[in-house]
């Protein structure tokens, strides 16, 4: 696992597992569509397609993989905690989906997540979402800001596809990996022979979200096989929830007195006028332990727990 060692990977709990599903921006492509000229040029050049009917058919079949002709219709993501992969599924308007994803990713990163876990996501999912964020005028976040960066210099993505295929130029399919690793395939039941684009325009978004989440689980378990740990089970959490570390633990791990921390303290009946006192108390705690924090991770965890208890006791005096 030389690659993971280079990334300073330590635990599967450091990874947020992610997968998306996409569909065409238009159900039927017509010659009046603003996308027609670009799509016609693409398939005529790439596939030597010449008839209007074939151009339209190729749009239904292949456009969903091209980010300029398709959109995000479902995103699932989750983190392993105590052997359970807790997954959140988000569907709806594309802008809403990406905004929710970006908000939650920032929360996870603040809570200690260091990597995004994907299958072929370095080439597809992450740049796809980044492009669609630009289309929707959504401010980019650092985890998805990879434009112009050489793939080998992107250190926060754990791409299971890249890891498993090694130096081979032959790509692996997630279904094939699941078969060889004895992992249940995410593309079972009604999904066989029925693509996501057809399902989306038929209004079957709930089924898409279900398969989307299964892709996340399969990717995570393929990685579990690679690092030789037991497979995990999946728990679906509500769309309004995200698995994260407690606010005070986030505070001690990130050393950031963020808006979320302030809002949390206010919700605990801490008056705004006392927030500066809390901030000074917390920062003083960091300075006392800076040398130990830099040298001993286990000791740091003990200190974090102790400091959280100290802050909680201190808050009760205000």
Instruction: Identify the band that residue 315 occupies on the pLDDT scale cut at 50, 70 and 90.
Output: low
Give the global pTM. 0.75
Task: Report helix angle 36-47 to 52-62, nearest 10.
Answer: 90
pLDDT digits (tens, 9 = 90+) for 211-267: 999 999 999 999 999 999 999 999 998 765 555 555 665 565 555 666 666 676 766
pLDDT band at 102 (very low <50, low <70, confident <90, very high): very high
Question: Mind listing the pLDDT tens digit for each residue in 21-57?
Answer: 999 999 999 999 999 999 999 988 877 777 899 899 9
pLDDT score of 124 more than 90 = yes
- Give buried/exposed letters for 168-183 (b at 16+ CB in 10 A, else e): eeeebebeebbeeeeb
Residue 5 to residue 258: CA distance in whole angstroms = 31
Task: Categorise residue 8: left if φ over 0, alpha if ψ from -120 to 50, beta otherwise.
Answer: left
Nearest to 90 by CA among 102, 79, 81, 108: 102
Residue tagged 């208890």 (tokens): 309
- Residue of 94, 51, 47 whose CA lies nearest to 75: 94
Q: Which of 65-79, 89-103, 207-221, 304-318 has the lowest mean pLDDT?
A: 304-318
pLDDT of 290 higher than 50? no
pLDDT bin (cut points 50, 70, 90) of residue 269 is low
Q: What is the pLDDT of residue 122?
A: 93
Where residue 131 falls among pLDDT bands split at 50, 70, 90?
Answer: very high
- pLDDT greater than 70 at residue 164: yes
Q: Is the model's pLDDT at 295 over the cut of 70?
A: no
Yes or no: say if 218 and 186 are a contact pair by the CB < 8 Å rule. Answer: yes
Q: Which of 117, 115, 112 has its CA nearest to residue 245? A: 112
Instruction: Give the separation between CA 265 and CA 316, rounded to whole angstroms.
Output: 11
- Asked whether residue 80 carries a pLDDT value surpassing 80, the answer given is yes
Average pLDDT over residues 205-216: 93
pLDDT at 201: 93
pLDDT band with cut points at 50, 70 and 90 for residue 275: confident
């Amino acid at each position: 696992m030389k690659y993971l060692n280079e990334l300073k990977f330590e635990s599967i709990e450091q990874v947020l597992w992610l997968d998306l599903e996409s569909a065409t921006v238009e159900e039927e492509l017509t010659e009046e569509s603003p996308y027609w000229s670009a799509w016609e040029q693409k398939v005529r050049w790439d596939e030597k397609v010449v008839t209007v009917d074939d151009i339209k058919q190729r749009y239904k079949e292949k456009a969903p993989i091209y980010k300029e002709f398709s959109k995000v219709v479902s995103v699932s993501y989750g983190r392993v905690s105590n052997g359970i992969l807790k997954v959140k599924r988000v569907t709806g308007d594309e802008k809403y989906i990406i905004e929710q994803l970006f908000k939650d990713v920032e929360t996870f990163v603040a809570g200690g997540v260091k990597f995004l876990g994907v299958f072929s996501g370095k080439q597809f999912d992450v740049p796809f979402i980044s492009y669609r964020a630009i289309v929707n005028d959504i401010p980019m976040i650092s985890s998805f800001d990879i434009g112009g960066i050489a793939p080998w210099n992107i250190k926060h993505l754990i791409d299971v596809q890249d890891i498993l295929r090694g130096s081979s130029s032959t790509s692996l399919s997630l279904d094939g990996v699941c078969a060889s690793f004895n992992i249940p395939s995410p593309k079972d039941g009604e999904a066989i022979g029925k693509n996501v684009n057809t399902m989306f325009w038929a209004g079957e978004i709930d089924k898409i979200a279900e398969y989307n989440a299964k892709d996340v689980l399969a990717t995570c378990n393929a990685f579990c096989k690679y690092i030789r740990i037991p497979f995990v089970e999946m728990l679906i959490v509500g769309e309004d929830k995200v698995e994260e570390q407690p606010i005070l633990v986030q505070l001690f791990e990130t050393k950031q007195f963020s808006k979320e921390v302030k809002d949390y303290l206010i919700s605990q009946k801490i008056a705004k006028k006392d927030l500066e006192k809390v901030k000074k108390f917390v920062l003083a705690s960091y300075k006392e332990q800076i040398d130990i924090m830099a040298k001993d991770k286990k000791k740091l965890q003990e200190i974090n727990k102790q400091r959280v208890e100290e802050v909680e006791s201190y808050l009760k005096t205000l």
